Amino acid sequence: MTTMTARPGAAGTSPNVRAIGGAVLVVRVLLAGLFLFAAAMKLRDPQQFAFSVAAFKLLPDPLVALTTYIVPWIELVAGVCLLLGLWARAAAFVIALLLTAFIAGIASVLQRGMNVTCGCFGKFEIPCTGPLGACHLVRNGVLLAMAAFVAWLGPGSLAVDRESRR
């Protein structure tokens, strides 16, 4: 546990600490909602996501098929954990790893000057529209900061995790 002093969300703590617990909760739920939505959109139309993955031209064919399913399933598992506040820090860490991989993939696409549409949320584009661009990098950077926030501070309020009281 890196935060040895205040335990956000713990009962009977100061208003300041409760505020942090609440802030973490908000970030956690936002992140969870977004990734659960992303996972659902990808799993609803795996074929479309497979073409998106293939369009990055980063992976050999067998890995494209695997990635098509593994990415949304990891998003789903991590999203559920985040939402419940179950192993929240680990789930946030996993999300951060995914985002790092996404950022690397997008950067690679941009560096190669390719015109690729984002398979991020299936047919929806939030909030960036059009082919992959700097907007997607910034968005993922913000999400990465959110994930790091949760991974660093712990589950916050209303979480299954009890480690904040230990």
Partner 1 sequence: MAGRLLLRAAILLVIGAGAGAAHSALRPVKLRPDAPLPGPAAPEIVSTPDGVAAPADAASAEAAMGLEITVSQAAALYDQGVSFVDSRHLAEFEGGHVENAFLMAAEDFLGGGTPVALGLLDPAAPLVVYCGGGDCDASKNLVLLLQQAGFRRAHIMTDGFPAWAAAGHPVATGGPTYGEDGSR
Is 94 a residue that touches partner 1 (CB under 8 A)?
Answer: yes
Euclidean distance between CA atoms 147 and 98, whole angstroms = 10
Q: Which is nearer to partner 1, 19 or 143 (CB)?
A: 143
15-44 burial, b for 16+ CB within 10 Å, e for fewer? eebbebbeebbebbeebbebbbbbbebbbe
Min dist CB 154 to partner 1, Å, is: 10
Other Cβ atoms closer than 10 A to 108? 13
Q: How many residues does the chain have?
A: 166
Euclidean distance between CA atoms 140 and 131, whole angstroms = 15
Which span (11-19, 30-38, 60-68, 135-143) binds partner 1, by CB under 8 A?
A: 60-68
Which span (6-14, 19-27, 81-89, 137-145) binds partner 1, by CB under 8 A?
A: 81-89
Binding mask 18-37 for partner 1 (x = CB under 8 A): --------------------
Q: Which tokens belong to 78?
A: 């991590």
DSSP state letters, 52-107? HHHHT--S-HHHHHHHHHHHHHHHHHHHHHHHHTSSHHHHHHHHHHHHHHHHHHHH
Q: Which of 10, 29, 37, 48 binds partner 1 (CB under 8 A)?
A: 48
Kindly determine how many residues on this chain lie close enough to bind partner 1 according to the rule CB under 8 A: 45
Is 65 a residue that touches partner 1 (CB under 8 A)?
Answer: yes
Is 130 a residue that touches partner 1 (CB under 8 A)?
Answer: yes
**Under the rule (CB under 8 A), what is the footprint of partner 1?**
1-2, 43, 46-48, 50-51, 54-55, 57, 61, 64-66, 68-78, 81, 87, 89-91, 93-94, 97, 112, 114-117, 123-125, 129-130, 151
